[in-house]
Structure formats: C-alpha cells, structure tokens
Amino acid sequence: MTSNVKNKKIMVRMSITIIVIGIFISSLNLTQTAIAQQRLHQQQTNAFDGTTFRIDNMTFSHRLAIVNGIQMHYVIGGKGDPIVLLHGFPETWYEWRNIMPSLAKNYTVIVPDLRGLGDSSKPLTGYDGNTTAEDLNQLISQLGFKKIFLVAHDIGAQTAFAYAEIRPNIVSKLVIMDYIFPGFLPPQFGQNGPWWFTFHQVPNLPEFLVEGKEREYISSFVKMLGYNPYAITKEDLDIYTEKYSAPGAMRDGFEYYRAFPKDAVQDKALVNQSKLQIPVLVLEADFYPVFGGAVQGLPVADAVKAMAQNVTGIKVPNSGHWIPEEQPQFVIKQLAKFFGGSSNFTNTSKGIHP
C-alpha cells in the first residue's frame, strides 16, 4: 500500500517535471522561431538593398542604413541638390510616388521609411520627434549632405520640425503638409485633437482591435480624411496593407501618437529656445469629410506661425488630408516655386515599374 502511494507520488512528480520541461522547450522553440523569423525578415530586407526600380523614366534604388541604433530603409534617385521627403500615417515612402520622378529631374530625392514603418526596423521605443530627428540627422550625415530641402506630411512633419530646429544650419527650407503639432493645436481641433489622436494613444487596445483588419482600418481612415480618396487606389491600399500588416508595424504607427505628450514638451522647449528662422511653406487641406466638409481659413498655417518666423500658408484646392496623392501636380508646382526649381518641374508619373 505504502509502496503504491510512493509510486504514485513519484509518477506525479515525474509528470509535473515533464510538463515543466515541455513548457520550457516549447517556449524555447517559440523564442528560436521568433529569432529565426526576425533573421529571415532581416535577410529579405537586406536582399533588396541596392535594387533599382523605375517610375516613368526615372530610376530609383532601395538602400539601407544603420542610424541611431536602427536600420532605416530609404529610396534615392535623381541628381542635384537634395530634397528629403518624409511620409505620414498610415503610409510609407510610397506616398510620394507621384511626385518623386518630377523632383528627380532637378534634385537628388531621398525618401525614407520612418522608424518602425515600411521596411525600416521596428524598435519598441524612440517615436518622439527628437529621436526620429536624430535618425534623420545620422542618415543625412552618412549621405554627406551639408544642406537639404525638407518636405514632410502628417507625422513626418514632427520629425521634420524637430530636425530643422535642432539642425538649422542643414535645412534650407521646410515644407509641412497638413499636420497639427502637439502643444500648438489649432483651437478648431480642440484641446486634445481629433478623436483618433486619443484612440491611437490608448496602450495596446488599438492594435488589438485592428489586428487582421489592417486593410479595413487604413481604407476607412483614407475615406474619412480624403476629398478624393480614390486617389489612393486598391493597388495602393494593397501596398500599405502589406507593410502595416507586418508584425509590430501597426503598433509602431500608434506609437507616434503615443509620443504626442512628449512631443508637446519638446516642441515648446525648442520654440522657447528659438522660433524656427528658415522659410516654411504650409500646405493644408480644404476639405475634411470627417469634420463635415470645407475647412475654414488656414488653421494649420496659423498654428505654425507660433513656431516659426517666416511662414506661408496655402490651401490645396480639391484636396483632403492626402495632399501628395490627391493633388500631386499642385504640390509639384508649389515645391518648384518655393525651392526655385525649373519650369520642367511637372508631374508625368504613370506608375512604378520594378
């Protein structure tokens, strides 16, 4: 009897031990699998470093650079003075596809994927403006440029403003497209900004709700903010969806919004130290479906005037938030005028040819 009890106890202990070992091995296998997947992604990303593609008759190439502890993907093409284009959310470098070939006729065009987005690596932290500005600073330094023109849309404008303030000797002129800066929100947008600012800042919940529905979320986002949402085609949505469906990508997009409180402190500190001195052009939408239609006045430009000394505001006709995609020809003309470019600065884009 005693022997049977002992045997049962031994068997129970052995079973528990086997279960614990199994759990450990399973977790080890999962960890190894995650590492293997990460290495595979890295290899796949590295594989296209230096590969070329064409938009119309202009050739661009994919490049990778190690900056500020991350791997940044960027596209480069053209020749002449450098222009850097920074994308917004939920987009990647690809949002500039209709503008890049015209710029590349007269300029060297550099179009990065912001930290965590597109084909750049996806760290857990560092989504505030000052940190992403240092990402850009190290990229520009590696490329050897002493002066640049800088153009930014949406959340890319946070990086652009911080970079221009911190490195005023490098940025000659700055263009901001449709972005309201934390700490300097126009009164029309309320104390905390539009509803999605608050939603995106909630820890963990947005990515949990959006997972597996990235396309639906991006599509709805495009429609509620676009005057002509069909400027972003189904094929374009496929491309954005692919990038934002990657592990961690949507979370990283939300992290830019979660950094807004920190951005507000940083923006105010930079402005208090010195308002931006370089010429700034602000292009903003004239129509928002989500806000009921036409936008009155120039709220974005008026807000930026509290941050910079020399600001010109222009409303983009027949455009919602997605200005580079909804009105590329208008943007090209305004950039040509602002940067002093050639009259050949025209939009001829017909698509991307790998």
pLDDT digits (tens, 9 = 90+) for 142-186: 999 999 999 999 999 999 999 999 999 999 999 999 999 999 998
Q: CA of 300: how far to CAs of 15, 54, 273, 308, in Å?
A: 66, 34, 22, 12
Report the distance separating Cα 334 and Cα 328, nearest Å. Answer: 10
341 confidence band (pLDDT: 50, 70, 90): low
- Residue identified by tokens 């599509």 is 219
Mean pLDDT comparison of 16-30, 38-52, 321-335, highest-scoring range: 321-335
Helix (H, G, I), strand (E, B) or coil at 76: strand
Amino acid at 205: L
pLDDT at 49: 80
Which H or E run includes 305?
Answer: none
Tokens of 347: 């939009």
Whether 62 is a known active-site residue: answer: no
Is 227 designated active site?
no
**How many residues are listed for the chain in this entry?**
354
Catalytic residue of the set 74, 240, 257, 288:
257
Is the pLDDT at 342 greater than 50? The verdict is no
Least confident piece of the model among 5-19, 148-162, 291-305, 312-326:
5-19
Please name every residue paired with 316 in a beta bridge, in sequence order, or none if there are none: 285
- 41-61 burial: b if 16+ Cβ within 10 Å, else e: eeeebeeeeeeeeebbebebe
Residue 72 CB contacts under 8 Å (≥ 6 apart), including other chains: 64, 65, 66, 112, 113, 115, 120, 121, 135, 139
Which is it for the CA torsion 194, 312, 227, 255, positive or negative? negative
One of 113, 119, 128, 154 is an active-site residue; which one?
Answer: 154
**Residue 114 backbone phi and psi in degrees, to 5:** -60, 155
pLDDT at 40: 44
Q: What is the pLDDT of residue 48?
A: 75
- Contact assessment for residue 263 and residue 157, using Cβ atoms and an 8 Å cutoff: no
CA–CA distance, 247 with 276 (Å, rounded to integer):
37
| 87 counts as catalytic | no
pLDDT tens digits along 236-246:
999 999 999 99
How does DSSP classify residue 321?
S
Position 42 scores a pLDDT of 55
Distances in Å between the Cα of 9 and the Cα atoms of 14, 43, 212, 251 are: 8, 50, 46, 47
8 Å CB contact between 225 and 288 = yes
43-57, 133-147, 229-243, 265-279, range with the lowest pLDDT: 43-57
Residue carrying the six token digits 């050949």: 344
pLDDT score for 312: 98
Q: The dihedral of CA 231, 153, 94, 215: what is its sign?
A: negative
Strand, coil or helix: 308 = strand
C-alpha distances in Å from residue 138, one per residue of 135, 144, 267: 5, 10, 21
- pLDDT, tens digit, 9 for 90 and up, residues 33-90: 333 334 444 555 666 788 999 998 899 999 999 999 999 999 999 999 999 999 999 9
